[in-house]
Amino acid sequence: MNLKSIAIASAVGSLLALGSATVSAEDAPKDKCLGIAAAGKNDMTLALEISIGSSAQIALMVAPLLVILGPWLGQPMALVFNAFELAAIGLSVATVALVALDGESNWLEGLQLLALYVILAAAFYIIPA
């Protein structure tokens, strides 16, 4: 860990809060733009496939890759989560499943997803790692 990341983490509160808020925002901005463009053209199937596929790519490829490469990079990482992190993952999966279940969406469902993101980011900031 370098001095810059320590300074950012202390300003934000914790590395966990910083990581939980930025990883989802920075994982392939191109995918985010394509999903928004598809939603703007009222192609919700494509928009959901892009959004969920991008998140699955992070969970299934990047996280295990970090576990494998972590010791060589000097930052070992284990896929061991505490109860709060597991609850956040479960709540996120359940909310996305409820939104995608009917195959349609509206502004209220989008607002629900944004509210969950803000609530989880605030909770990770407040609750210590």
Structure token digits, residue 69:
């490469």
Q: Which class for 123: exposed (0-12), middle (13-18), buried (19 or more C-beta within 10 A)?
A: middle
Number of domains into which the chain is organized:
1
pLDDT in tens, 94-106: 998 888 888 777 8
Identify the H or E element spanning 18: helix 15-26
User: Residue 41 pLDDT > 50, yes or no?
Assistant: yes
Long-range contacts of 31-34 (CB under 8 A, 24+ apart): none
Q: What is the dihedral of CA 47, 63, 10, 129, to 10 degrees?
A: 100
Structure token digits, residue 99:
């939104």
Per the CB < 8 A criterion, the answer to whether 118 and 3 are in contact is no
Q: What is the pLDDT of residue 105?
A: 76
pLDDT in tens, 58-78: 778 877 888 888 888 888 887
Domain that holds residue 89: 3-126
**SS3 per-residue string spanning 50-75:** HHHHHHHHHHHHHHHHHHHHHHHHCC
